A and B are shown apart, each in its own frame.
Chain A
Amino acid sequence: MRQGQHPGFGESAGVCVLRLACRHLPYHGPVGCAIYNWDIRGALSSGPELHRNSFTTDLRERDVVFGGEPKLYRSLVELIDVHQPKAAFVYSTCIVGIIGDDVKAVCRRVSDEKGIPVIPVESPGFRGTKRDGYRAACEAIFKLVGTGSTEGISPVSLNILGDFNLAGEVWIIKEYYARMGVEVVATITGDGRVGDISRAHGAALNVVQCSGSMMHLAQLMKERYGIPFMRVSYFGLEDMSEALYGVARYFEDDDVMERAKELVHGEVSAILPEIARYREDLQGKRAGIYVGGAFKAFSLVRALRHLGMRTALVGSQTGTPEDYEELRRICDDGTIIVDDSNPLELTAFLREKECDLFIGGVKERPIAYKLGVAFCDHNHERKEPLEGFVGMSNFAKEVHASVMSPVWKFTPRAKRTAPVHEEVA
């Protein structure tokens, strides 16, 4: 059944828009649907914390039978009166998709009455896959773009797309761009503001991270406003540096490039000794990677190389054939590359390749642990920044800590791979 195979649709739509700090998003549906986005991602805000709440219309049997529109209307009015958000996004859930509530009409009515954008997001789970959910979210955000004035925006400016400010990462990146002399207009959606997004069309460039979620928005902005976009990654030394150099090259400004070079040089020199220390212990060990989008996998393979580790297994949920071609190019021969895998497959491959480390999301952790393999959680629940130069240092520390823990030597895997004679103390 489609929904069972792709439970991420409604959730992924929620994930992207969730991080806007000054708006709220009621879920029109039973209360359980709202839980998946209730403050479980480490997205931080410099201001309003409305995004950490989750609102639901709590549809019950009566509403399902007689229609949920009156309840939605009442809920929206109440929420807007109490919280005064700058915008509201309304998510439909599976139930709403089936009973056929006219969410668009209710939203239009409330928007007229209250004078703020009230935007429906068509996200019932059965509608599609994770990627479709991202598209729906991009469409919703796009409705806000272009509604504000672009006065006063520097020609050397950009929007950051696809970063969700986990553990304050967007602040790290913003600071780098600021040091280079580039103005950041809007961050979508980490620590984002409705006001900024409405002006986003005034920026000269879009830098897109996590291209799975926000690429569609970048394309929409290119079509409508002619704003070019570039894909970047902020993980690992090369990719982080390239993210800064790429922007500098785009603006063809020598000052900006000079400052970028200085920044990169300073930051990298600061952390290289530490990385070298970790590398001593980690040299030669093997890693497995399984992430949502293939773009992150590229960065991880490169980052692991800095630590002296070989990637023996790499995969993603949503990678395209082009992505996998690229992976084949950057990985060593004999690396297993998988697409849209499952625990059984991953287990078999991890064993076959005798990995010492597995990098994935929360769902991959038990696989690693049960096999006696160290684990690094590179997903959105993390609380430590892994982006930027400081992020690389954190990543190295975390990898080292898990791989070098003494607990692994008690596992069957250690006995399989250990030298034959072990001295008993």
Chain B
Amino acid sequence: MTGTDRLIETLRELAAVDVPDIITEERGRLLDLMIDTHQHFHRCRVAIAGDPDQVLGLTEFCRDLGMIPVHVLTGTTGSRFERAAKDILASVNPAANVKAGGDLMLLHQWIKNEPVDLLIANTYGKYIARAEDIPFVRYGWPILDRIGHQYFPTVGYRGGLRLAEQILNALLDRLDRDAPEEKFELVL
């Protein structure tokens, strides 16, 4: 949300135009969904891994949703990433693990030391997700074991809608799977 807002704001200023209603409405839909579901995302601990630009955007979005990014990692080297990530996390989790030039072995170790409620990564993340029994959302590149990337947006407000839906589904599937009988709900 913040990321897309920033983009739209910048474009608006540079081009000196009004933001068309159709974009404001898209933003409204995303905001609506975020509000309606904020209790499910609340304080959910998440680990994020992937390419730097995507990871920064994801971290910001997870923060906007009320989640707590705990481990934030990219394989690409460079200190700008670490600074930018720490800035994003300053208000929500200044003690988060942040690393550029890291790898999945490190991520797995981090997660073993401090477990999370959700993992967002490319397909390679599935091994960690399975070993630690964590809900898993695929994002980034490559995604080798699922389809649809060419049809469904992953950026912008609509991308936010889809991503929020995927995260929510992963969390609620887990909730349903592990719920004791009296907490197994019809309406969530």
Contact = CB atoms under 8 A, between A and B. Distances in A.
B6 A410 contact: no
A425 B64 contact: no
B43 interface: yes
Given A44-B182, A401-B42, A402-B39, A407 B6 contact: no
A372 B31 CA distance: 10
B165 interface: no
A35 to B, nearest CB: 11
Nearest to B88: A425
A407 B183 contact: no
B48 interface: no
A340 to B, nearest CB: 27
Contacts of B2: 425
Interface residues of A, number: 15
Most chain B CB within a 10 A radius of its CB, from A369, A383, A407, A408 = A407
Given A406-B63, A406-B64, A410-B31, A424 B36 contact: no
B38 A405 contact: yes
A401 B43 contact: yes
Interface string B1-34: 1100110010000000000000000000001101
A402 B182 CA distance: 24
Given A405-B42, A406-B63, A406-B66, A369 B88 contact: no
A407 B38 contact: yes
Contacts of B60: 425
Contacts of A406: 63-66, 92
B173 interface: no
Interface string B61-94: 0011110000000000000000000011000100
Dominant secondary structure at the B interface:
helix
Classify chain B: how many residues form its interface, as a range: 20 to 34
Contacts of B32: 369
B144 interface: no
B37 to A, nearest CB: 9
B35 interface: yes
Contacts of A408: 35
A406 B42 CA distance: 9
B64 A410 contact: yes
A369 B65 CA distance: 15
A411 interface: yes
A407 B182 contact: no
Interface in B86-116: 87-88, 92
A424 B6 contact: yes
A407 B34 contact: yes
A40 B5 CA distance: 40
A401 B41 CA distance: 11
Contacts of B6: 424-425
A13 to B, nearest CB: 23
B102 to A, nearest CB: 23
Interface string B157-188: 00000000000000000000000001100100
Given A401-B42, A402-B39, A410 B1 contact: yes
Given A44-B182, A383-B183, A425-B2, A407 B39 contact: no
Contacts of B39: 401-402
A369 B66 CA distance: 15
Contact of B35 (A44, A401, A411, A425): A411
B119 to A, nearest CB: 21
A411 B31 contact: yes
Given A369-B32, A401-B43, A406-B65, 11 more contacts: A40-B186, A44-B182, A369-B35, A402-B38, A405-B42, A407-B35, A407-B65, A407-B66, A410-B31, A410-B34, A425-B6
12 contacts: A40-B186, A369-B32, A369-B36, A383-B183, A406-B65, A407-B65, A408-B35, A410-B1, A410-B31, A411-B31, A425-B6, A425-B60
Interface of B: 1-2, 5-6, 9, 31-32, 34-36, 38-39, 42-43, 60, 63-66, 87-88, 92, 182-183, 186
Closest 8 CB pairs of A and B: A405-B66, A407-B38, A407-B34, A369-B35, A405-B38, A410-B31, A401-B42, A406-B66
